[in-house]
Structure 1
C-alpha cells in the first residue's frame, strides 16, 4: 500500500502502548499523527492541530469519546471522526452516530483496515465536488452542500453522514438503490457492521421527512431502498 500525503490524523487513545503502535504505523504510511490520551487532551489538540481526521477511543478518563465529539459538533467542527470501540451493540452505534461520529471500527482490528477507513474519511473531507446540489423533495428543500433541510421556512441541519445518505438517494430518486452500492459510496465498504449503521441513518432520515407523507424512503427487503417524492 502506497504512502499517503498530507493527511493529518489526531489519535485519541488512553492505552499508551496501543496509541504508540497506531501512531507509529500511521506515521510509517505517510500520515501526520498527533496523539492525545483522553478526550480533554483531544479537544485541545483539535483546536491546535486542525486534523483532517480524528480517530478516537470511546471509553477514556476525564472525557469519553462521545463527549469529545459532541463538543466538536456543538462548536461547528465537522472534522470526520472514526470511533475505535470494543462495543458493537446497536444502541452504542446509534449513540455514536447521533453524537456526530462518521464511522466505527471494532477492536481488535487489522491495521490495514484502519488505514483504509482513515483514507476514506479524509477523502470525503477533501472532496472537491464543485456542484451545489439542491433537491426538492415534496415540500422540502434539501441543500446537500450546506446539509440543510427546509420545510415551510424551518431549517434543520443534518449530520454529515445523514446528508451523504440523503444526497445519494436524491441523485437516484425513483430508482432502486442497493444497500451495497450506497454503503460503498458513503462508507467506503459494504460490511455487515456498516449495514447496521445505514439502517440507523435511514430511520433518522425518515423521521426528519415525516412531515410530508408524499416523501418516503421505501425499504426493499434484501435489496436496498427507493426514494419516492
Structure 2
C-alpha cells in the first residue's frame, strides 16, 4: 500500500519525535524538518517528484529561521493546492485569522494528543482527494460570463484566466449545482469541508469572500447571505 507523504515542520524535538512516530504507525511517510528553512528546502527539493510528492504539510507556527506562516506562504507559491495544518501554542484570534486567510485546512492548538493530528490529516486527505466532477469530457462550462474549468482549476473571463485552488473549485461546483436556491450553511460545510465545526465555518467565510471577488466582474452573479439561514448563489440568465 502506497504511503501518504507528510512534511512535518516542528522545532520542539521531543514533540516532533512523538508526532513522527504516530504518523509512521498510521502508514504515513514523514519528512521531519526542525525549522522553517529546512522545511522549505525539503519541499522545494521534493516538488519535482510528481507522483511521489508531499500530499499534505503540518507546520508549527513558532519556528526559528522561518515561521510557519511565512513558510506556508512560500509553499503556496510552489503549489497552491497542497493542504496544510498549523500547530500553535497560541490561542490568539489574529493568528487564527491569518492562518485562515492563507487557506489553512486546519489549526490545532497545543497541547493536543497525537492521535488528534492523525484523524485531522485523514479527514482532510479524504476531502481533498475527492473529485469534483463525474465526467472528464465536460470539464468546462459557463457560469454567467465566466468559463469554469473544473479540471485545471481556472475561471476565465474575457480572455483573462484566474487560477483557483481545489477547495475553491469544490465550493464553486457545489454552489453551481445548487444555484438560485437558498442553501443552509451547514449543508455547504458538510459537502465541501466534511464538517460544520467553528473552524470550518470561519474558513468557509474566507473562501466565500474570495469567490465574491472572483465573480465581481459579472453583475448577474451574486453570492447572497441570508442571516442565520444560509447562502444563495444567484445567477441571472444562466
User: TM class, shorter-chain normalised?
Assistant: 0.7 to 0.9
Greater CA deviation, 134-143 or 92-101?
Answer: 92-101
Structure 1 residue 181, shift from structure 2 partner:
2.2
* Equivalent residues in 2 for 1:188-199, closer than 5 Å: 188-199=194-205
Output the CA distance in 1 between the equivalents of 2:171 and 2:21.
34
CA distance in structure 1 between the aligned counterparts of 2:206 and 2:18, rounded to whole angstroms: 32
| Secondary structure of residue in 2 paired with 1:174 | coil
Report the equivalent of 2:121: 118
Matches within 5 A, 1:28-67: 28-46=25-43, 47-48=45-46, 50-67=53-70
Q: Which deviates more from structure 2 when the two are superposed, residues 175-184 or residues 15-24? A: 175-184
1:71-82 map, 5 Å: 71-76=74-79, 78-82=81-85
What is the aligned partner in structure 1 of residue 130 from structure 2?
127
Q: What residue in structure 1 maps to residue 98 of structure 2? A: 95
Question: Per the alignment, do residues 201 and 61 of structure 1 end up closer, same or farther by CA in structure 2, a change over 3 Å counting?
Answer: same
Gaps of 5+ in 1: none
Residues paired across the two proteins, number: 226
Does residue 219 of the first structure (1) align with residue 225 of the second (2)?
yes
Structure 1: distance between partners of 2:95 and 2:219: 30
Deviations along 1:174-219, whole A, 9 cap, x unmatched?
Answer: 2322222222232221111211111111112112211112101111
Secondary structure, counterpart of 2:210 in structure 1: helix
Contact preservation (8 Å) 1:143, 1:149: yes
The gaps in structure 2 that reach 5 residues or longer are 47-51
1:134-157 deviation digits (Å, cap 9, x = unpaired): 342211112222221111111111
Larger Rg: 2
1:191-210 counterparts in 2 under 5 A? 191-210=197-216
- Per the TM alignment, residue 36 of structure 1 is displaced from its structure 2 partner at its CA by 0.8
The CA distance in 1 between the partners of 2:174 and 2:95, in whole Å, is 25
Q: Work out whether residues 85 and 106 of structure 1, in 8 Å CA contact, stay in contact via their aligned partners in 2.
A: yes
TM score, norm. by length of structure 2: 0.83
CA contact (8 A) 2:57 2:84 kept: yes
Q: Cα RMSD between the aligned structures?
A: 2.4
Q: Secondary structure at the match of 1:190?
A: coil
Distance in 2, Cα, partners of 1:182 & 1:110: 29
Cα distance in 1 between the residues matched to 2:210 and 2:193: 17
After superposition, the Cα gap between the structure-2 partners of 1:197 and 1:152, relative to the gap in structure 1 and judged at 3 Å, is same
User: C-alpha distance in 2, partners of 1:161/1:91?
Assistant: 23
